[in-house]
Amino acid sequence: MSRRRVSYYFDSDVGAYTYGYGHSMKPHRIQMTHELVTSYGMLEKMHVLKPPRCSPAQMTAFHTDEYIHFLSRAAPEMTQEMNPQITQFLGYPDDNPPFDGVFEFCSISAGGSIAAARNIASGASDICINWAGGLHHAKKAEASGFCYVNDIVLGILELLRTYSRVTYFDIDCHHGVEEAFLSTERVMTCSFHKSGAFFPGTGLRSDQGKGKGKGYAVNVPLHTGLTDGSFKSIFEPVASKILEVFQPAVVVLQCGADSLSGDRLGCFNISMQGHANCVKFFRDRNIPLILLGGGGYTIKNVARTWAYETACALGIEDTLGDFLPWHNHFECFGPRYRLEVATHNADDENLKDNYLDQVRTNVLEQISRLQCAPSVGMHDVPREDVGTHLGMVFDDDDMDIRDDLDRQLYEHARDAYNQIPTSGSEEEDSDGASTSYSHASSQRGPPRHKRMSIVTNEWHTLPSQNPVSSTTKRRFFASTGMP
């Protein structure tokens, strides 16, 4: 295997931000990862870059103007003032606090993913890494699940300037990103995540896209206790089939580490090697690849795994010693100062009643029905914003259309969030998908102002707010000329 050209994006400021005392999300884990990468001597083997900060104008390629305008002014004092925009734009505020420097933190994360996309598109690198990225829960006009700006969507939009087809794989324990590309055949999304009453409650087998995008959203809901063997037995055949049928020009892999064994918010039983197998799978197929971070809340295991996966990208994972080298955060990795994430003895619920075999069969059948890669004719790189080019954003003269699009996207996200479990046994639909958790579009459950917490996986009632901006408000923000 020839060594691939790797670019690594890191901003030393990222580890200084904090969501607040006791919060599960700790940006410091990215600094810990970097220290471990440095101590293993990997920086000399790849192109190390400081990403440019993402501007508000770049963020509005996907997010609404008013949401980014609010985010740029967000501060901890807003919670004390009971600012009504808190629940409008930040959803459940305990998960998504307006912490000091939140906008700057998001600009680092999103800037790295956009820069990685441009790097890959230019042909300068074969693999690009941005461990500060992968924040896949952020919605068009609302923060969610510790995520404020969806760097993944912004990065994929940048890739679509050059590539006709992009595939996004997500191995985080939580489902995300899919809704931004539900109606396009140019982006195929594939998510391996925890099923059932688990944040954010989306990603059913029956959710397969709509319109032109029907069939191009692949969801693989899995049960508690997923092991390396079970994960590999479904990931590799599904990923291979997608590469065969869809023939993407580039792959984006979100390496959320909350799927690791022992994670504070996860429930799988995957080792560091089992997680990294996904990175090696794509590396060995010589396809342009972007690696992003994501979830992960037992931070010493996050740092271990992302450092190891950096070595996998470089093709030097076999040269790393089992014991961690001394570095500035060495004491954080006790009591076992080893490059490993140990699994535990727990039942793999996926092996019961042939569940894993059924899901694998159903997913492969879905992909096979696509028959061939979608045809995309020759196209110029659009001069306008890519979101505009794909119909996600419109010119000022089409303000009513923009408002309607915002409303539709909000309603889809609201319906997905308002999904609730039903009583009774699970049933199988025509695709073999579990229907025990029906979509809220067909079953209206909790009030529309409820949000699920990523920490507790419970619904919380928020003050009733309407996140959809009025035409007047939309025009006001469009006329402010945000930088």
Backbone angles phi, psi at 193, to 5 degrees: -150, 170
Active-site annotation holds for 379: no
Token output for 91: 């959803």
What is the C-alpha separation between 456 and 119, in angstroms, rounded?
Answer: 38
Contact 309/131 with Cβ under 8 angstroms?
Answer: no
Q: Helix 65-73 crosses helix 471-478 at what angle (to 10 degrees)? A: 70
Cα torsion 448, 451, 452, 453 to 10°: value is: -170
Give the DSSP letter of residue 155.
H
Give the DSSP letter of residue 349.
G
Question: Which residue bears the tokens 């579990």?
Answer: 434
CA atoms within 13 A on the CB side of 331: 1
Is there a binding annotation on residue 295?
no
Question: Which residue bears the tokens 């949401």?
Answer: 67
To which H or E segment does residue 217 belong? strand 217-222
Q: CB within 8 A of 63, min separation 6: which ones?
A: 138, 140, 141, 149, 150
Contact 171/189 with Cβ under 8 angstroms?
Answer: no
What is the C-alpha separation between 59 and 115, in angstroms, rounded?
Answer: 13
Query: Given the DSSP bridges, would you call strands 166-170 and 250-254 parallel, antiparallel or unpaired?
Result: parallel
Is there a binding annotation on residue 155?
no
Is there a binding annotation on residue 322?
no
The burial of 4, by beta-carbon neighbours within 10 Å (0-12 exposed, 13-18 middle, 19 or more buried), is given as middle
The burial of 438, by beta-carbon neighbours within 10 Å (0-12 exposed, 13-18 middle, 19 or more buried), is given as middle
Token output for 210: 């709509």
What is the C-alpha separation between 341 and 440, in angstroms, rounded?
Answer: 38
What is the C-alpha separation between 123 and 250, in angstroms, rounded?
Answer: 11
Is there a binding annotation on residue 258?
yes
Q: Pick the catalytic residue: 34, 63, 136, 137?
A: 137
Is there a binding annotation on residue 431?
no
Question: Which residue bears the tokens 């076999």?
Answer: 318
- Is the bond into 76 cis (omega within 30 degrees of 0)? no
Three-class DSSP category at 421: coil
What is the C-alpha separation between 280 and 310, in angstroms, rounded?
Answer: 10
Is there a binding annotation on residue 297?
yes
Known binding site: residues?
A: 95, 145, 172, 174, 258, 297
Known binding site for substrate: residues?
A: 95, 145, 297
Where in the sequence numbering do the catalytic residues fall? Answer: 137
